[in-house]
Chain A
Amino acid sequence: MRKIRLLLSTVSIFFLLITCSGCWNYREIDRLAIVTGIAIDEGQSNKYSVTFEFADASSIGKETKIGSKLVEIEGETIFDAVRNTIKLSGKRLYLGHVKVVIIDKDIASKGIIQVLDFLIRDQESRLNLNIVISKQATASEILSQKSVLTSNSSMELYQQIKSQVNLSKSPDINLKELINAISGEGISAVLPAVRITDSVGYRTSEVTGAAIFKGDKLIGFLSESETKAFLLITNEAKRGLLILKHYENALPADITLEILRANNTKIRPSYEGNQLVINIDTDLKVAFAEQGDTRDYLTEEGRNQLKGIAEDTLNTQITSLIKRVQQEYGVDIFGFGRIVKAKKPKLWRKYEDNWVEQYKNLDIRATSKIDINNSGVSKKTIKAGD
């Protein structure tokens, strides 16, 4: 009797716990339509036209091939479009492995709240997926471009964004960070931008620069070099190159420095004479990577000169970027407000209410410190002889 009671209570606990374990059900993997990328455009008859990229696996005998297929469908809302795909494919969409969501710039300039809400609310899509803005073509066109190395263009786009660590020409922002930036106080959102580019014999998509937002609406783009300065300010850049404009005998002879360590930027707000000043101290370790002239920069004097040029260049890039964003867009994509709030909370209360206006007139002081650590595997400069 005791044993039966024990068994019954064990079984009932088992079934009770099932109700606590959230959403689950048995579904065969081959019955799913695994979506890897979503492109969202404006529709013709409906509000949205959504393009899905599926993983398409065909296997004959031992041979298995993983390709991709595109499906374009319209819907009044995003979820409507997602469900409408059943009309076409018969399989239910599985969004658990979506890597990128491309949003068309026309949609983005009208607001992306609806897209984001669907992505967050859906139990399958992940918070670490990447959102990109199409800069020159429609989102659907970008998704339908041929990929270079893989068979799936959204996976390749995802790889491009993730590899920005070594390039620092585009930000790597995932859904969660985007939501934080949009809804956060004293910061505005930035997203990577993509466009279509011509390569040898085919067209493909490339990540280029960044798109900047006011609230949830797209208001402009940053170029690649501007994005690099932006990433250096916000401590997001890890690797990348620093190109110094240089002329020898009135001919361009640029110098390239490779950034070895970058994420040591300090932003310090200070209050001087009734004026809020933002001090940006960048601190880079670089390697001397390439030169276009025959001068020897490896002497004490040459190194100091090079250091001076590099620091000046970086300071100029930083201040001019901030100036442009302040004056043209008036959005705090650098998160200065957030930093002021964290470091000078009393001061923040004064600025809180009209931060957008205050931001436009902020005084910026950029100081850079660049250490040249090595000169690659060469100690000498090539001498041009007769």
Chain B
Amino acid sequence: MNYGESSGKATSNINRSSNGEGYSLTKSIVDNVKLIKEIFHNDATLNFRYFVNQHNNNIKCCIIFILGTVDLHIINEAIIQPIIRNEGLHMNNDMVNYLKNHVISSSGIRKENNIDSLISALLNGDTILFTDGFQEALSIDTKNYQGRAVEEPEAEKIMRGPRERFTESIFLNLSLIRKRIKTPNLKFELKEIGEITNTKLCICYIQGIANEEVLSEVHKRLNDINIDGLLDSGYIQELIKDAPSSPFETVGSTERPDIVAGKLLEGRIAILLDGSPTALTVPHLFIEYFQSNEDYYLNFYFASINRMLRFIAFFMTTSVPAIYIALITYHQEAIPTALLLSIYAARQAIPIPSIIEALGMLLVFEMLRETGTRMPVIIGQALSIVGALVLGQAAVEARLVSAPMVIIVALSGINGLMIPKLKGALITVRILLLLLCSLAGFYGYIFGVALLLIHLLKMRSFGMQYMQQISISNPQSLKDSAIRSPWWLMIYRPKCISPERLKRQGKDGNGL
């Protein structure tokens, strides 16, 4: 087997800098082990274990595995013990098959003589068994990566609904999805991605519901990725995005398996990456920022109110500072007299212009937010004291900032936290509108909103119009927009996502 050519992704050039000649397996166990050692030189986690059958000293074996990726217990119980103790082993041509079929008790076992495949298997937690006198090796599944157990979601909190969260292990994650959708039509397509990291990636969809065009587009975009390594699905999210420079995402992300299952049932496609507890869903429309999985579990009146709150929050968080600045620096006549006077009183003796005050306070809020995210939980109290007392109360009392501005910034900030996935876009839009308002008052605001709308309406996510479900021309799509209609009214899937197999309820229309 010619090892030197670039056929094997699994073995990149790091292990073999100068050695240009090809490698191939031989019948000698010593040579084979030496070969592996050479490929992995300087790797202390690579372990070898020679052993001999107690009844037949001619049968020499060696297993190779990487510490930390395997379950040593399985290796002892299922490989070493059965081979050492076995009485029926004879040196003949069929011995490797005999080992594979009669001796070793493991759920996954393959006969290999391709060194590329062996190395790839070794790196994925398999154990390699060489037998003296045979060129073929056995690759035995003993994977046991250390990882987290399934925990409660932290970034997407809910009151009611499943409390499971994806972990870093892709197969555990897939099992969490499979647990919810038990149909052979649920497809998992595995890929490897990343030149060095060789990270596993899985494309999930329900055949028959998912849009084929979107699926092939996903494949196309994933195949175009050419990167050394991927440590989180965030890499993919940015690499396959439709509008690369827009602050709005066209690829959805979630850490909850029930959300992924819900999206799959609507005809969307999910992408999971090994090592990342965040799954991606495409196509992702603007409205999805405002939908929470909880909306579908709670009473529809309550859910609809929450939806509307999120829309109001979007308006408030982007526009409140801008409108306030426009009002107090350009359009004083538009403020009711009593309110004008109290703002007027609060602004007395404030040394800085309103716009600088607003930008400064927004900056302070973002600093507090970022500090809150980064700092260790133990010192959290210090932040709330410094943030609330020193920066809020004391700054107002010292007349460095006016009290209304603190309220405005807090209102804008708190409302922004209601739609956490939109955070980057919110800050951008907020600052943009604020600056436009400080330049031209309400006129600037309207201009900014027009720009924002043009931008959003122009965007596509995997061929779907980004603002699709917000248009009032289609009453069907409105059922799951600003309000969440009761389940007995939502008979159809979102039309734009799954053009065929629309019906999701009824006797003959559940899709498949």
Contacts and interface: CB of A to CB of B under 8 A. Distances in A.
- Residue of B337, B346, B399, B403 with highest tally of chain A CB at under 10 A: B337
Contacts of A359: none
Given A28-B329, A29-B332, A126-B333, A34 B349 contact: no
Nearest to A124: B333
A26 B328 CA distance: 9
Interface in B365-419: 396-397, 399, 403
B456 to A, nearest CB: 16
Contact of B344 (A10, A34, A99): A34
A349 interface: no
Contacts of B341: 34, 55, 57, 66
A17 B439 CA distance: 13
Given A14-B447, A64-B346, A66-B342, A24 B330 contact: yes
Most B CB within 10 A of own CB, among A27, A64, A99? A64
Interface in A56-102: 57-59, 61-62, 64-66, 94, 96-97, 99
Interface in A29-65: 29-30, 32, 34, 36, 55, 57-59, 61-62, 64-65
Contacts of B350: 30
Contacts of B343: 29
A286 B349 CA distance: 54
A23 B16 CA distance: 75
Interface string B340-368: 11111111111001100000000000000
Interface in B277-336: 328-330, 332-333
B329 A62 contact: no
B440 A18 contact: yes
Contact of A64 (B345, B438, B441): B345
Contacts of B48: none
Contacts of A116: none
Contacts of A14: 447
A30 B405 CA distance: 14
B443 interface: yes
Contacts of A97: 332-333, 337, 340
Nearest to B398: A61
A199 interface: no
A74 to B, nearest CB: 27
Nearest to A36: B337
B405 to A, nearest CB: 11
Contacts of B347: 28-30
A53 to B, nearest CB: 12
A21 interface: yes
A61 B440 contact: no
A101 B451 CA distance: 43
A58 B349 CA distance: 9
Given A17-B443, A21-B443, A29-B354, A66 B345 contact: yes
Interface in A120-137: 124, 126
Given A59-B349, A61-B397, A96-B333, A30 B344 contact: yes
Interface residues of B, number: 29
A370 interface: no
Interface string A141-165: 0000000000000010000000000
Contacts of B330: 24-27
Contacts of A99: 337
B348 A57 contact: yes
Contacts of B438: 26
Q: Kindly name the residue among A29, A57, A58 whose own CB sees the greatest number of chain B CB atoms within 10 A.
A: A29
A24 B327 CA distance: 12
A94 B341 CA distance: 12
Interface string B450-478: 01000000000000000000000000000
B435 to A, nearest CB: 12
The listed residue with most B CB atoms (<10 A of its CB), out of A18, A59, A66, is A59
A155 B345 contact: no
A59 B397 contact: no
Contacts of A126: 333
A212 to B, nearest CB: 30
A57 B332 contact: no
Contacts of A28: 328-329, 347, 353-354
Nearest to B344: A57
B8 to A, nearest CB: 43
A62 B333 contact: no
A64 B338 CA distance: 13
Contacts of B447: 14, 17
Contact of A94 (B328, B332, B397): B332
Nearest to A26: B329
Contacts of B337: 36, 97, 99, 155
A100 B349 CA distance: 28
A27 B329 contact: yes
Interface in B163-209: none
A214 B72 CA distance: 110
Given A18-B440, A24-B443, A61-B397, A30 B348 contact: yes
A54 B330 CA distance: 20
Contact of B345 (A26, A27, A57): A57
B81 to A, nearest CB: 69
Contacts of A64: 342, 345-346, 348
Contacts of A61: 397, 399
Contacts of A96: 332-333
A55 B438 CA distance: 25
Interface string A254-294: 00000000000000000000000000000000000000000
Contacts of B345: 57-59, 64-66
Contacts of B399: 59, 61
Nearest to A15: B440
Nearest to A96: B333
Interface string B243-272: 000000000000000000000000000000
Contacts of B441: 24, 26
A130 B343 CA distance: 24
B344 A55 contact: yes
Highest count of chain A CB atoms <10 Å: which of B341, B397, B403: B341
Given A30-B350, A96-B333, A97-B333, A24 B440 contact: yes
B348 A18 contact: no
Contacts of A21: 440, 443
Q: What 4 pairs between A and B have smallest CB-CB spacing? A: A57-B345, A96-B333, A64-B345, A30-B347
10 contacts: A25-B330, A26-B329, A27-B330, A30-B349, A32-B332, A34-B332, A34-B344, A55-B341, A61-B397, A64-B342
Interface of A: 10, 14, 17-18, 21, 24-30, 32, 34, 36, 55, 57-59, 61-62, 64-66, 94, 96-97, 99, 124, 126, 155
Given A26-B330, A55-B341, 19 more contacts: A17-B447, A27-B332, A28-B329, A28-B353, A28-B354, A29-B343, A34-B332, A34-B340, A57-B344, A62-B403, A64-B345, A64-B346, A64-B348, A65-B345, A66-B344, A94-B332, A97-B337, A99-B337, A126-B333
